[in-house]
Amino acid sequence: MHVTTEQQENYVIDLHIELPPERFEAEWKRIAQEYVRLARIPGFRKGKAPLAAIEKKYGPDIEKEALEKTIKKAVSDVIREKEMRFLGSPILKKQELEEDKTLRLTVTIIIEPEIELPEYRGLVLSVEKEMEPEARLDELLERVRSDFAEFLNITDRALTMGDYGVLDYSGTVEGKALLEIDPNLPLSVVGGKNRWMHLSGEPLIPGLSESLVGMQPQESRTCDITFPSDFPTTTLRDLKVTYEITLHEIKIKQPAPLDDALASRIKPGWTLEALRTSMRDILVQEAEATFRKKSVAALIERLIESMSIELPSLLLEEETTRVLRQIVREHLSHDTAEDEIRAKHDELRPRAQQEAEKKLQLHFILHAIAAKEKIQLTSQDLRAYLADLAKKYQMTEKKLVSELQKHHALAGIQEELLTQKTLDFLVSQAQITAIPVSKNNDGSTHPHPTTPHVHGPGCHH
């Protein structure tokens, strides 16, 4: 085997490989014998067909498989012999199989950059922390009351803002049903029978809540609604829709009393004081977890700011495409129309590239730190994580590993765990000072990123 290397750009190398005829011929014979053993040829017993008959029927398939395996092994041998630390998968640019079965290849690989690390131990960081999370206890308890609220029927007055109306409604455009215009429209906009609608300041159908004020049970009404030009569903933008509405019932939401009875509905045997204690503990734990996440984010930002790595354009392009797909999936999950996403594709790409650059830079920095500090993922680390994952998805560890291998996800999990282990090390070495969460102009703190939720009959889970 003859090998030469050609530098293309930083960290990108072309391998020019020439393999003697015997390399391909040996692989061809091995695969052909497998075909002889397994193939069924009319007129011959299984495993007894002559090689000539096998070659006649399966020759192209044998050659294709022999080429793939010869190339894969040759590239692997070259990378191992030259002790190259490469990223991603080798890219086959060119292959030529001569008549004498000499095989010539050109393969592009991206090697891992060698970087000089900045000082990463003892980083000094100031990170915002919610100092008195218990102050949100009353707010959380009100949400619990709301989750367990009752809906009372109102018969002695007309519908007003803040009420819940139980009604039939359907929308048309010049006599044509909305689903005929667009069968993918959400049912909340199309209408239906005995649908609940909250007359709030943020209605699903802009302007409809105000149009229903004053209705009495069993009353019918016709309302014309023109959807705004920035409505999320593009089909409805600037469209005038006529809604036929019949109100059946008026209901108001009455939060549950804050007492021992409510606490016992959440967990049998609990008192109100036990509920308060549990909620207080949740808030404190959540504040600590959020502080930890913010600390990691601040540390990552500092590491990326402290150095610049010239990334291979090929690798950056691949990662940008991957990130862009993820952004598109996120938009689709939020019911953004596909045509709108396509229109914004070019607008989203710079953001995707920026995220890709950060991800790659962080990957290289953390890998270099892990190597220098000899941080490794142990089999115990992986087993513990997989055990938790198997429990979460209610399957055996063997079945879970099989599924992960089938979807080529195991290596990604190992990478993620090593990254987390390295970040844990860096956080333990950093000097992190907690500072109070900054306040808005009205004196309130910035909204907490998550709020604990207590499941109840009204939460629709």
Q: pTM for this one?
A: 0.68
Q: Summarize pLDDT for 183-200 with one digit per residue, the tens.
A: 989 998 999 999 999 998
Q: Summarize pLDDT for 66-120 with one digit per residue, the tens.
A: 999 999 999 989 888 887 777 777 889 999 999 999 999 999 988 888 788 989 9
Question: For residue 58, which amino acid is it?
Answer: Y
CATH code where residue 167 lies:
3.10.50.40
Listing DSSP states for 103-136 in one string gives: EEEEEEEEEPPP------TT-EEEEEE-S-GGGG
Q: Summarize pLDDT for 131-175 with one digit per residue, the tens.
A: 988 889 999 999 999 999 999 999 999 999 999 999 999 999 999
274 and 393 in a single domain? The answer is: yes
Question: Which one of 52, 80, 111 terminates a domain?
Answer: 111
273 and 211 in a single domain? The answer is: no
290 and 428 in a single domain? The answer is: yes
CA distance 402 to 408: 10
279 and 415 in a single domain? The answer is: yes
Phi and psi at 8, nearest 5°, equal -100, -50
Alpha carbon of residue 99 to chain centroid: 49
Q: Summarize pLDDT for 257-303 with one digit per residue, the tens.
A: 999 999 999 999 999 999 999 999 999 999 999 999 999 999 999 99
Give the chain's domain count: 3
284 and 205 in a single domain? The answer is: no
In a domain, 186, yes or no: yes
Q: How many beta carbons lie within 10 A of that of residue 311, not counting itself?
A: 19
245 and 269 in a single domain? The answer is: no
In a domain, 445, yes or no: no
> What tokens appear for 246 in the block?
């019949």
More confident residue, 277 or 340: 277
Is the pLDDT confidence value at 459 over 80? Answer: no
247 and 267 in a single domain? The answer is: no
272 and 237 in a single domain? The answer is: no
86 and 161 in a single domain? The answer is: no
**Residue 370 vs residues 171, 275, 376, 419, 449: alpha-carbon distances, Å:** 60, 44, 7, 8, 31
Domain hosting residue 37, numbered range = 2-111
In a domain, 379, yes or no: yes
CATH code where residue 98 lies:
3.30.70.1050
CA distance 226 to 211: 12
Task: Kindly state the average pLDDT of the residues 397-420.
Answer: 91
243 and 313 in a single domain? The answer is: no
Q: Summarize pLDDT for 32-76 with one digit per residue, the tens.
A: 999 888 888 888 888 888 888 888 888 999 999 999 999 999 998
In a domain, 341, yes or no: yes
Q: Name the 3-class secondary structure at 2.
A: strand
In a domain, 296, yes or no: yes
Closest by CA to 311, choosing from 279, 374, 270, 353, is: 353
323 and 426 in a single domain? The answer is: yes
> Average per-residue pLDDT in the chain?
88
CATH code where residue 275 lies:
1.10.3120.10
413 and 266 in a single domain? The answer is: yes
Question: Which one of 86, 111, 136 terminates a domain?
Answer: 111
CA distance 106 to 14: 6
In a domain, 122, yes or no: no
Q: Summarize pLDDT for 238-256 with one digit per residue, the tens.
A: 999 999 999 999 999 999 9
Task: Kindly state the average pLDDT of the residues 402-412.
Answer: 88
> What tokens appear for 378 in the block?
């142990």
In a domain, 104, yes or no: yes
In a domain, 20, yes or no: yes
- Are the C-beta atoms of residues 314 and 108 closer than 8 Å to each other? yes
Q: Which 8-state DSSP code applies to residue 396? A: -
